[in-house]
Amino acid sequence: MQMQAMVGPGHSEARKPFYRILYVQVLIGVMLGVLTGHFWPEFGAALKPLGDGFVKLVKMMIAPIVFCTIVSGINSISDSREVGRTLVKSMALFYLLTVLALLAGLMAVSLIQPGVGMHVSVSTLDPSVAAKFTKQAAATGFADFMLHIIPHSFFGAFADGEVLPVLLISILIAFGLSRAGDGGAAVTKAVASFSHVLFVSFGFIMKLAPLGAFGAMAFTVGRYGVRSIGSLGLLILTFYVACSVFVVVVLGTLARLNGFSLWKTIRYFREELLIVLGTSSSEPALPGALRKLEQLGCRKGVSGLVLPMGYSFNLDGSAIYLTLASIFIAQACDIHLSWGQIAAMLGLMLLTSKGAAGVTGSGFVALVATLSVMPDLPVTGVALLVGIDRFMSEARALTSMISNCVAAITVSLWEDACDREVLARELGQSGSVEIAAGTKIAGATVIRDHKSWISTTQSAA
């Protein structure tokens, strides 16, 4: 056996040529996609399969990675009551952040008023636009939502690829293994080994991230173009302002109260955030974010539970979009809403903003679901937004991704499941380790003292 020493993440990345660093490659892919879509719009629009294919490849890996991460993480927790505390604290934080996100969207659209003066007649709106999303956005009650979490079969949860059913199965299996004693040892070892294989395989897929980002961005610009923004540019600006204020004020305050820096956290997850920007989907960033949370000193049993939950219960970008888009439609159609109607709308959005996957278009579907059960606003009003929705989906996904990373670190700190020294050191370096194929990350041992740290991995001679 031989020992391979590596200096911290920032140093390992610094030794690479800049063009071999993943986030640089993704950034180049995004810029090339914008240029391709702008100068050759037809060709750019035809590149949509590149982005869709990359997202599908990643979604293929999400369910087993979440399953292995949660099972091995919870199984390592000696006190099973910690899992219950983590779930309760996570849900409380998620709903608090959702309420603040809804209010951020409401305040932004009320102050800037991007729809005032448009005087759109409801009779002139195309109902077919909303009709395409009506079945997909059928509003359900709380009981229906909870029943949807239970999969039709064990393997059906993995076939559908939805996070919440996989989360439920993972928790049940993890508790079963913790009670199985020696009988579950072989399964536990198999899950840990399979998890290592999954992350190595995911490393191969991530090499395609620049290509996926290039295709997705070329399609967006080529299909819709900057000219499609037109008179709705003020609405897009309002949405980006609302998202920025939420991230800086709300998430910045939450991070500061818990003793870590929001800006350093954003820099640490820059690769994942650039992939989200390029693909307009937060799902491709989930496996990498799970691994980086461990590198930050967060215990897998907590962070591995909080982050996947956030993908269904903490979509703050979509929450901001819901209030902003709804009030915009009311302003554009000259519909006056009382504060009582707005309060009822906010209560409904607390439900419709939950459970949607972090994929492109989920915010638009949630908006249709909200308007479908609100008699005060016309569901046909979504026709005003369909042309520019793609330009706002990036901000939705980025906001939700940043919020979930901050929430995972916060809950880990609340549960004393995060090493503050490792957290401060890693964020101070603001570096990252690319998940490379053939690198044995799972077996890494961390040796640290007050002056330096060395991450060593054992590999077969």
pLDDT of residue 461: 37
Q: Lowest-pLDDT range, 89-98, 213-222, 389-398, 437-446?
A: 437-446
pLDDT of residue 447: 32
Q: At residue 158, does pLDDT exceed 90? A: no
Q: Which CATH architecture has domain 2-459?
A: Orthogonal Bundle (1.10)
pLDDT of residue 251: 96
pLDDT tens digit sequence for 266-293: 999 998 998 888 887 788 888 889 889 9
pLDDT of residue 383: 77
368 C-beta neighbours (distance < 10 Å), count = 23
pLDDT tens digit sequence for 352-394: 666 554 445 567 777 877 777 777 788 888 877 876 777 788 8
Q: How far apart are the C-alpha atoms of 70 and 157, rounded to whole Å?
A: 15
Q: At residue 242, does pLDDT exceed 50? A: yes
Band of pLDDT at residue 239, cut at 50, 70 and 90? very high
Q: At residue 21, does pLDDT exceed 70? A: yes
43 C-beta neighbours (distance < 10 Å), count = 12
**Interval 317-327 mean pLDDT:** 90
Q: How far apart are the C-alpha atoms of 362 and 352, rounded to whole Å?
A: 11
**Interval 74-86 mean pLDDT:** 74
Say if residues 381 and 329 touch (Cβ distance below 8 Å).
yes
Q: How far apart are the C-alpha atoms of 7 and 19, rounded to whole Å?
A: 21
Give the Å distances, CA to CA, from 301 to 306, 323, 416. Answer: 9, 34, 12
Say if residues 16 and 198 touch (Cβ distance below 8 Å).
no
pLDDT of residue 127: 63
Say if residues 407 and 416 touch (Cβ distance below 8 Å).
no
Q: What percent of the chain has pLDDT over 70?
A: 78
Among residues 358, 279, 303, which one has the least CA distance to residue 73? 303
Q: Lowest-pLDDT range, 3-17, 60-74, 104-118, 159-173?
A: 3-17
Mean pLDDT estimate for the chain: 78
Q: At residue 80, does pLDDT exceed 70? A: no
Q: At residue 215, does pLDDT exceed 80? A: yes
**Interval 111-139 mean pLDDT:** 68
pLDDT of residue 29: 87
Band of pLDDT at residue 142, cut at 50, 70 and 90? low
Say if residues 37 and 222 touch (Cβ distance below 8 Å).
yes
Reported residue count of the chain is 461
Q: At residue 8, does pLDDT exceed 50? A: no
Band of pLDDT at residue 403, cut at 50, 70 and 90? very high
